[in-house]
Amino acid sequence: MTLAKRAFDVAAATFALALFSPVLLLAATAIVVHDGGSVLFVQERVGRDGVPFRIFKLRTMRDEVVTGPGRWLRATGIDEVPQFLNVLRGDMSVVGPRPLTHADLTRLGFDRDPLRATVRPGITGPAQVFAPTTAAGVLDTDRRYVREASLRVDAELVAISFAMNLFGKRRVRARLAGHRLAPAV
């Protein structure tokens, strides 16, 4: 599965960066014109096997306040597109548990879970799609993903994520009740 997943990741990341390059150029221009600051937000996160890496996102805040372009970038998910560079670098996968900071892993108790750390974190994943409301629900959802991971599951989660961007998270989540990776109610 690892070689096939990596091939899927590289192909999807290359396609996504090519597809979104005009939008990234417009977003970068909007960020610079709005406040002249850096285009990218870079932060250390924890990857597979606890190895730290630097995650890339489009910057959406200045002085702890969401900017005008930032509201649009967050609402559309375009702020996450630079993470495809992390996928190409091998730090992340297209699908996997959400990449967290060391402080968040400790605060949530996820640092004590060896199973979650056996896969690369993802741009999208089961917790991002199903939005469990508790830390225990997130961990349970991530653990089920790790146990059931396959290219079919990854393709399904990518399709669901894409549908959420097109039709809205609330509408799509309403149709996902009872899905095998959804948190138990």
**What are residue 122's phi and psi, to 5 degrees?**
-125, 160
In a domain, 183, yes or no: no
The DSSP secondary structure of 58-91, one letter per residue, reads E--EETTEE-HHHHHHHHHTGGGTTHHHHHHHTS
Q: 19 lies in a domain? A: yes
Give CA–CA dist 60/160, Å, rounded.
24
Q: What is the DSSP letter of 1?
A: -
141, part of any domain: yes
For the chain, what is the domain count?
Answer: 1
- For the stretch 84-125, pLDDT in tens is 999 999 999 999 999 999 999 999 999 988 899 999 999 999
- Domain for residue 163, yes or no? yes
Say yes or no to pLDDT of 2 above 80.
yes
For the cut 70, the answer to whether the pLDDT of residue 185 exceeds it is no
Asked if 129 contacts 159 with a C-beta cutoff of 8 angstroms, the reply is no
Q: What is the pTM of this model?
A: 0.91
Does residue 29 form part of some domain? yes
pLDDT given at position 184: 64
Q: How far apart (Å, rounded) are the C-alpha atoms in residues 6 and 149? A: 13
Could you list the residue range(s) of the whole structural domain that residue 138 is in? 2-175
